[in-house]
Chains A and B, each alone.
Chain A
Amino acid sequence: MTQWNMYSRGDKIFAMTCAILVGMFTAATLYPFIYIAAVSFSSGFAATAGKVVLTPIDFTVEAYRFILGDPRFWNSYKNTFIYTIGGTAMSLVLIIPAAYALSRPQLVGRRFWNLFIAFTMWFNAGMIPFFLNMRDLGLLDSMFGIIIGFAVNAFNIILLRNFFESIPRSFEEAARMDGANEFQVLWKVFVPLAKPAIATITLFCIVSRWNGFFWAMVLLQSEEKIPLQVFLRHTIANLSDTEEFAMTALDASYSAETITAAIIVCSILPVLIVYPFIQRYFEKGILLGGVKE
């Protein structure tokens, strides 16, 4: 309080304006989560009638009972885990050596390779050529296709390359004098030192894989291979049309809205659980990757 009194009138107005803006931004960010959670625990009637604003109306877990009893939900959940874990692992296996190679001054044609990769951040072949490419490689309707097809991301390579470049050269030289070969320098020195940056790109990969929707919808035809996001889309599109749903939803304990909300809650839950564990690396990684010491 003493400190607050030391501020000038202008400073106080500025601080209060900042606090109000941050509060509004926080509310705008949090509200969709709160609303979806509230709808998922409300009765179908209340949700359809638009009565839910902040808290559940006629609290019920019927929507969750409905989706958790659906084997297709569990199958798509399993698929999403496979795409997320497999895809993230594949990305790291490809991105780490690529970033390391691009960070080495002795790489022949280093400027060209860096430009070659950065170029894809702004210009790419587009949707149709990519689809044709996947088709010609026999990767349509293939789980492996989803994992390998999106494994490399230029932004992540450049982020990690910048981090590797910021590691003092003497670490590499000391390891070389100790007898380490190129692979050992990468694995035993650079990877441990780049933990914050690697955690950051891991989180990027996890989030993008977990939320992966468009290409999964385009490339996968078999129901048993679709991830959670595509299942969610199918559910939203089809739920109210099905005879089964029309029959069971008669008591209005759940509706298309509450079931959609329940699936959304289930789909964001794992990311919300993982994020706090990686957050400290996440912030550090973004900062360090861009700063050369």
Chain B
Amino acid sequence: MSGVKLDRVVKTYGAVQVVHGIDLHIKPKEFVVLVGPSGCGKSTTLRMIAGLEEISGGTIAIDGRVVNRVAPKDRDVAMVFQNYALYPHLSVAENIAFGLRIRRTPREEIRRSVAEVAEILGLTQYLERRPADLSGGQRQRVAMGRAIVRHPKVFLFDEPLSNLDAKLRTQMRAEIRRLHNRLGVTSIYVTHDQVEAMTLADRIVVMNGGRIEQIGTPMELFTNPANLFVAGFIGSPPMNQLRGRVVRDADGPAVMIRDIRVRLPRDVSVEDSQEVLLGVRPEHVLLAARSNATPVPISLDLVEPLGSEALLHAEIHGQPFVIKAPTQGDVGRFSGLDMIHLPAEELKVFDAETGRSLITHQVSGG
């Protein structure tokens, strides 16, 4: 099985540099998701691995072979495109077989391979249909079939689920992960949807402005974001950020948010009077008092029931704050809520200027 290694890869368009020397080592059989906002360079990076974009600097190696000057067809990678790119004039079977026909694979082998792939993807009964006669999910499966029929070393997915509705996306997400578990082929997946990234990836690469912000397992990124960008991007709803100033006393470090004093975890590297942003995940907020949790007064603005949970939109001294809390079947329990509790061990602290995490001892995310 094949790994992919990017070494100081740069991409420029004229005078504009869009990918700034990224390093990334993807292990064989690994499922890596590149995630980030629009224009962060994730799709460009994927296309450089595919060979559809020339690289302006650095090296890309697939299975130990540098492929900088190797044509896409000779890299032994297959790609699933955002718009499926199914040929409308060909049937499902012909679409899946296209790559094999181009490579002059014997007819009998093509027939066998197409049947096998159709069986895996549940497309057997649709083989004679044209793409226009299929649903979005079926088209997506055909696009995957076209990729897997060649048994490539690496699968590349360029936002393959973004054209599907929410329900189908959830279903297809699970199918892609099952397929990866079954085939065990190294996969690189691009998305801007952090939920897709969290659910699919062995490791997530968070990109921003053509740079890698952090690489880690989904839980590592969720639990120990390296900076404010990752903290805000991973998790839904995003992490709350409260601006304050550090104070120190006998009890250890704390942050003053005007007159509210919030105790910090001990493993934090802060200086007195340093301006910081306190990060609190909406789901880590406590509604009941507990030892080692600081009580904080809030003014509740709006309750959004989601079923088993609700999103409570509030303010702390004019700073917006979201709480995710279980409804226990009754949204009315939140009326009159004016106090929450922030457990010190769940708080994150970021430098207000650089956005870097100031937590020194990173808790393992599993």
CB distance from B191 to the nearest CB of A (A): 17
Chain A interface (Cβ < 8 Å from any Cβ of B): 168, 170-171, 173-180, 184, 188-189, 192-193, 195
Q: Is B112 an interface residue (CB 8 A)?
A: no
Main secondary structure of the interface of A (DSSP, over half): helix
Main secondary structure of the interface of B (DSSP, over half): loop
Instruction: Known A168-B83, A170-B83; judge A178-B88 contact (CB<8 A).
Output: no
Contacts A/B (CB < 8 Å), 26 sampled: A170-B82, A171-B85, A171-B87, A173-B79, A174-B81, A174-B85, A176-B52, A176-B71, A176-B72, A177-B52, A177-B72, A177-B73, A177-B79, A177-B99, A178-B73, A178-B103, A178-B150, A179-B73, A179-B99, A179-B102, A180-B73, A188-B102, A192-B89, A193-B87, A193-B89, A195-B89
| Contact between B82 and A177, CB atoms less than 8 A apart | no
| Contact between A178 and B98, CB atoms less than 8 A apart | yes
Instruction: Known A178-B73, A180-B73, A192-B87; judge A173-B52 contact (CB<8 A).
Output: yes
Measured CA separation A189–B98 after assembly (Å)? 10
| Contact between B82 and A178, CB atoms less than 8 A apart | no
Measured CA separation A178–B102 after assembly (Å)? 7
Chain B interface (Cβ < 8 Å from any Cβ of A): 50-52, 71-73, 77-79, 81-83, 85, 87-89, 98-99, 102-103, 146, 150
Measured CA separation A193–B52 after assembly (Å)? 21
| Chain B residues within 8 Å of A171, by CB | 85, 87
CB distance from A199 to the nearest CB of B (A): 14
| Contact between B73 and A176, CB atoms less than 8 A apart | yes
Task: Determine which of A170, A179, A189 lies in contact with B81 in the assembled complex, contact meaning CB atoms within 8 Å.
Answer: A170
| Chain A residues within 8 Å of B50, by CB | 173, 177
CB distance from B100 to the nearest CB of A (A): 8
| Contact between B72 and A184, CB atoms less than 8 A apart | no
Shortest Cβ distance from B71 into A: residue = A176
10 tightest A-B contacts by CB? A178-B99, A170-B85, A174-B85, A179-B73, A192-B89, A170-B81, A179-B102, A177-B72, A179-B103, A180-B102
Measured CA separation A36–B98 after assembly (Å)? 53
Measured CA separation A176–B305 after assembly (Å)? 49
Measured CA separation A176–B98 after assembly (Å)? 11
Task: Determine which of B79, B89, B102 lies in contact with A184 in the assembled complex, contact meaning CB atoms within 8 Å.
Answer: B102
Measured CA separation A189–B94 after assembly (Å)? 12
Measured CA separation A180–B74 after assembly (Å)? 11
Measured CA separation A147–B270 after assembly (Å)? 84
| Contact between A173 and B85, CB atoms less than 8 A apart | yes
Measured CA separation A155–B358 after assembly (Å)? 65
Measured CA separation A179–B78 after assembly (Å)? 10
| Chain A residues within 8 Å of B77, by CB | 177
| Chain B residues within 8 Å of A176, by CB | 52, 71-73
| Chain A residues within 8 Å of B83, by CB | 168, 170
